[in-house]
Structure 1
C-alpha cells in the first residue's frame, strides 16, 4: 500500500504550436529535481504538421488528433493526468469535459488532474470552438488543476479565463511571457501543495475502486 501511495504520477505532456516533445522536455526540465522526481513525465509529439500563421480560430484534424491521443494512451498508459503548454494546454484543458460527456478518451481511465501553462479555453477569447468541445466547459471542472500564467504572456487573459472554468484551481503567476518559467520559492510552495492535492485525489479514487470491487464479491 505504501508504494502505491508514494508512486510517481504518470503525466502525458503536450507541446505547443511549432514546438515538439523534445523542446517541451527541455523546457520543463528547467524545474528543480525536487519537483521532477515526483512526476513521471512522458512527452508526445503532435501527429500533424503545423499550419502557417495559425490564428486559433479554427482547428483542423481535431478528431484525428483525439484518436491518435487515445491510441497512444491505450498502448503506453495508464496516465494519471496531462501537462500542456500553449496549444497543448488548450487541448488538455478540454479533455476532462469531453471525456465526461463520452466524446473523447472513452477507452482509457478518467483524467485525474491537469497542469496548464500559458493555455486558453476553447470558445473563449480569440479561440475557436471545435464541435466536440461545445459542452467541455458547460459545468465547472472539479479535478485538481495547476495554472501557470505569465504577466507578459500574450495569452494572459485567455489563461485567466481558462483558470476560472475550474473549481479551486492552483495558480502561479510569473513575470515572464509565453514560456515555461523557472520556479521560485513561492511557486514551489504552490507546486508542492498541488502535488499533495493530487496524491489525496488518487488515493481517494483507489480507495473507492477497492471498495467497489469488494462489494461485488
Structure 2
C-alpha cells in the first residue's frame, strides 16, 4: 500500500521520516511505500528538537484552543497534495498529523457520503483530538456512532501527555476495524525491537483488514 504521511506540530516531513524509520524498514520490505508532506504553516521547532535537526519547521494548523479557519486550510492543502501526487491507499499521522488525518476522514465522510473514502486505512500514532472543519470545536461521539468507519491502526503511549486525546481518537474509530497497541512510552515513536515489532504487527493487521474489505 502507498501511504501519505503527516508529521506532528513544530516538525516536518523529514523528521517524521526519521521517527518512523524502524517501522518503515519492516513495512517497506513487505512492499508498502511512504510519501511525506509538510504542513503549510511555518512554526517554531519543538523544544526537544531545537539545535538537533534542521528546519524549516511546520504546523498543519495553529496550535491552541481554536485554530479556526486554519483547519479548513489544512484540509485544502492536504487534498491538493492528494490530487497531484496521489492516489494513496492509506494515511499515517503522528500527533497533530494524526488529528489532521482523522479530521479530514471525518469531514469527507460527512460532506461527501456518496464518494469513496479518501483512504482505505489510517495509522494514528500518539494522535491528538481531531477538529471539526470550522476549527472551533473538537469532533465528539454521538451515542454509539463512530465517525471513522475505515480500517485503523491506533498506536498510543501510556506516558504521553496526549494519551487521553489519543484514546478519544481511538473511541471515534469503528471497533471492528480498529487495531490497537499501547507502547507504554512517551510522545514518540519507539525504536526498540519489541515495540517496533508490535507496531508493525498492528499496522499489518489493519492493512490486512483493508485488503479483505
TM-score higher than 0.5 here? yes
- Matched residue, 2:43: 50
Residue 92 of structure 1 corresponds to which residue in structure 2? 101
Q: So what's the TM-score if we normalise by structure 1?
A: 0.74
CA distance in 1, matches of 2:180, 2:121: 14
In the alignment, which of 144, 147, 156 is matched to residue 149 of structure 1? 156
Query: Which residues of 2 match residues 206-217 of structure 1 at below 5 A?
Result: none
Asked if structure 2 preserves the Cα contact closer than 8 Å seen for 1:94 and 1:136, the reply is no
Match of 2:42, SS state, is coil
CA distance in 1, matches of 2:25, 2:181: 18
Q: What is the DSSP-based 3-state SS (H/G/I as helix, E as strand, rest coil) of the residue aligned with 1:170?
A: strand
What is the SS of the residue equivalent to 2:174? coil
Aligned to 1:13: 5
User: Superposition RMSD on alpha carbons, in Å?
Assistant: 2.9
Greater mean deviation of Cα atoms: 147-156 or 18-27: 147-156
Give the TM-score taking structure 2 as reference length.
0.75
Q: Tell me if structure 2 keeps the 8 A contact 1:172–1:187.
A: no
Once the two structures are superposed, the pairs formed by residues 150-189 of structure 1 within 5 Å of their partners are 150-168=157-175, 169-182=178-191, 184-185=193-194, 188-189=197-198
Structure 1 unaligned segments of length 5 or more: list them.
Answer: 1-8, 124-128, 205-217
Residue 79 (1) aligns with residue 88 (2): yes
When Rg is computed on C-alpha atoms for both structures, the one with the higher figure is 1
Number of residues of Structure 1 aligned to a counterpart in Structure 2: 189
Q: Distance in 1 between matches of 2:22 and 2:168?
A: 26
